[in-house]
Structure 1
Amino acid sequence: MSDPVTSAVEELLEENVFPPPATASPSSTSSMLTPLITTFLGVLARVEEKVVEHLPPQAQKKFHAVDAWGSTALGLPHSGIIITCLLLLLVLGLSLYFVGIGRARGHKPLPGGKQGRARPSHVVLLGPCGAGKTALYHQLLYNTVPETVTSMVESEGILKDKDIRLVDFPGHERLRGGWKKQFLDAGKVAGVIFVVDAADFSTHKVREAAEFLYDILTHAAMDDGPPLLVACHKSDLPGAKAPARIKALLTSELERLRKTQGGAMMDGNGEEEEDRLPLGRVAVPLNLDVDAPSELTFASTNVAQQTQFGGNDAIEEDIGPLMTFISDKIGR
């Protein structure tokens, strides 16, 4: 069953209210326009008559008020139907405009370039070999301090009382690149904890850590991506460097790397990666507080053994910055 407006239009068609355009003499422009205008006004009158009668009484009242105002103030007959059509066209035009703007700007896609993905749920522990990632992994998950081991495969577990999966990824140079395709490009990373050995941060260690960190910071998926915490680990050992000093050393080495390597970096298989982010601003010294592509912080951590009276409080103090990072920065 058709609606009243459709029925009215069908009735108009049956009455042949839309005659073909009149043929005018080409010698006069006005002679061509006059029949068209007359036909147009006749159509408006019939449309107004047939359509308006199907409107609710309150709508008919407002329509006639607009029609009367237009005829008096503008000298425009059938102004009610004309204004209604113009408003409809305006609304349609604005709708199409804003839909187009929305598609052009869009929302920034999640890492990996796919919209509508599930909320990232992984915190990834990264860093050079021997930095203490595995010890932190066990401390965070199981509140234990394992014997020193070197991981050759990633480990994954769920943090108690948090909907977060913690991943300990191997720091070996040939293995470390795999985390990007497996987690970062897949849009799974909610945060990155980059672990360095604060007690053994020699020139060689600084260079190794900076190259790894540079590879992270210039990856395309890190642009306004997951927050990153540099954990200056083993801070309880003699000679351990403070976070501010480690930050300064890494900044200096990253500055050198961005000048010598630019956007070219290698993935875990030794192949050059594309679509690298530029790190820093042209002709301006690197400032990680400003130039990091996503939120970057530094903090001291350690997993010193519990004393008899230490209890959980003593350990919580040692890894407190990590728990704060996971709770506050990631919002779980």
Structure 2
Amino acid sequence: MTWAHPEGWLSQALHPSLTVIVITIAIALAVPLFLHFVLFRSSSSRTLPSFLIVGPSGAGKTSLLTLFERGSPATTHTSQTPLTVEAALPVTTTAASNRYRSSHDPSSKEHKIFLLVDTPGHGKLRHHAFENITSPQHLKGIVFLVDAANLSTGAGGPTDAGLREAAEYLHDILLMLQKRAMGTKKVPEMPLLIAANKQDLFTALPAPLVKAALEAEITKVRESRSKGLLDSGIGMGDSDMAEEKEWLGEGGEGKFEFAQMEDVGVSVTIAGGSVLGGEGPEVGKWWDWIAESL
């Protein structure tokens, strides 16, 4: 039986029978549904890159979160639980992954969307931040926000306490990142931004002095922690690797510098800015850092 015969399959397929019509309608409906539920849903459910915002209480973390999300900071209160929002780079800022893409490439816009995770700064609630570091979900970087007006060293005054608190918290985060990098499983590099907030205030330290103050105070924290470990006998085994995991930086001795963290894949950047400036927010350097990390 040839294809041109009245009973042939091609003739039957082109014949306006009820079976042919039903099959055609089913195919016409099934193909778009397949493309939508299988291809579109699978691509849209891809987890977005995220950035973790940490720092002591009162540094302005939640205000920064709302600023990045809405374009303007909102009135906030002390956070008790983590908060995750979706944000996008400003149209004037280009992500590093899009730098060499054509402006007409629609896929270039996909990488501008990211998640911001705000964590409480109170000492008893910092485990939320630590959990996000030990079990990151597409974590691209960490923003450590500090109140630059609360870091000036004095003669035992309240600013000493602010500097000590910030240094201890930052020490713990850096030590956690060091342990994570020196584990058995290879992990990607982790950039960390120290965002010196409230630069609009007269008493705020500029970014270079924030860097020097934190390095000097972390040196003191590391010395006291190392002494405590030696007194308790922790880290005194035969393995040098075990000691390095317990002591931040180069063996816990000498002056600590953020540059030491590059050996474990942690690049530290310090940049000043202001979330609630008198003349408006000044966070351009922070946006640039996020763009470089995307």
Q: TM-score, normalised by structure 1?
A: 0.54
Change (3 A) 1:305 1:291: closer
Q: Is the CA contact 1:122–1:167 (under 8 Å) kept in the aligned structure 2?
A: yes
Distance 1:157 1:264 in 2: 40
Distance 1:165 1:259 in 2: 36
Distance 1:180 1:321 in 2: 25
* 2:133 maps to 1:184: yes
Distance 2:256 2:122 in 1: 27
Q: Is the CA contact 2:163–2:217 (under 8 Å) kept in the aligned structure 1?
A: yes
2:171 corresponds to: 214
* 2:110 maps to 1:146: no
2:260 corresponds to: 290
1:323 corresponds to: 287
Q: Is the CA contact 1:145–1:305 (under 8 Å) kept in the aligned structure 2?
A: no
Summarize the alignment of residues 241-252 of structure 1 with structure 2, pairs less than 5 Å apart.
241-252=205-216
Higher strand share: 2
2:276 corresponds to: 304
In the alignment, residue 185 of structure 1 is paired with which amino acid?
Answer: T
1:229 corresponds to: 193
Q: Is the CA contact 1:120–1:187 (under 8 Å) kept in the aligned structure 2?
A: no
In the alignment, residue 221 of structure 2 is paired with which amino acid?
Answer: L
Distance 1:177 1:214 in 2: 14
Summarize the alignment of residues 138-177 of structure 1 with structure 2, pairs less than 5 Å apart.
138-160=66-88, 162-177=112-127
Query: For 1:218, what is the secondary structure of its paired residue?
Result: helix
Q: After superposition, what is the alpha-carbon deviation per residue over 1:38-77, rounded to whole angstroms, capped at 9, x for unaligned?
A: xxxxxxxxxxxxxxxxxxxxxxxxxxxxxxxxxxxxxxxx
2:223 corresponds to: 259
Q: Is the CA contact 2:48–2:115 (under 8 Å) kept in the aligned structure 1?
A: no
Distance 2:122 2:256 in 1: 27
1:280 corresponds to: 249
Q: Is the CA contact 2:82–2:128 (under 8 Å) kept in the aligned structure 1?
A: no
User: Which 5+ residue runs of structure 1 have no aligned equivalent?
Assistant: 1-117, 266-271, 308-313
Shift in Å at residue 178 of structure 1? Answer: 2.1
Shift in Å at residue 221 of structure 1? Answer: 2.1
Q: Is the CA contact 1:123–1:166 (under 8 Å) kept in the aligned structure 2?
A: yes
Shift in Å at residue 126 of structure 1? Answer: 0.3
Distance 1:263 1:319 in 2: 39
Change (3 A) 1:159 1:263: farther
Distance 2:147 2:181 in 1: 24
Shift in Å at residue 276 of structure 1? Answer: 4.0
Distance 1:230 1:155 in 2: 20
Q: After superposition, what is the alpha-carbon deviation per residue over 1:19-53, rounded to whole angstroms, capped at 9, x for unaligned?
A: xxxxxxxxxxxxxxxxxxxxxxxxxxxxxxxxxxx
Distance 1:164 1:192 in 2: 13
Distance 1:148 1:246 in 2: 25
Distance 1:306 1:257 in 2: 35
User: Which 5+ residue runs of structure 2 have no aligned equivalent?
Assistant: 1-45, 90-111, 152-158, 183-187, 235-241
Change (3 A) 1:238 1:296: same
In the alignment, residue 298 of structure 1 is paired with which amino acid?
Answer: I
* 2:93 maps to 1:124: no
Identity %: 28
Shift in Å at residue 180 of structure 1? Answer: 2.1
Which of structures 1 and 2 has the bigger CA Rg?
A: 1
With a CA cutoff of 8 Å and minimum separation of 6, indicate the structure with the bigger relative contact order.
2
1:39 corresponds to: none
Q: Is the CA contact 1:263–1:276 (under 8 Å) kept in the aligned structure 2?
A: no
| RMSD, aligned α-carbons | 2.7
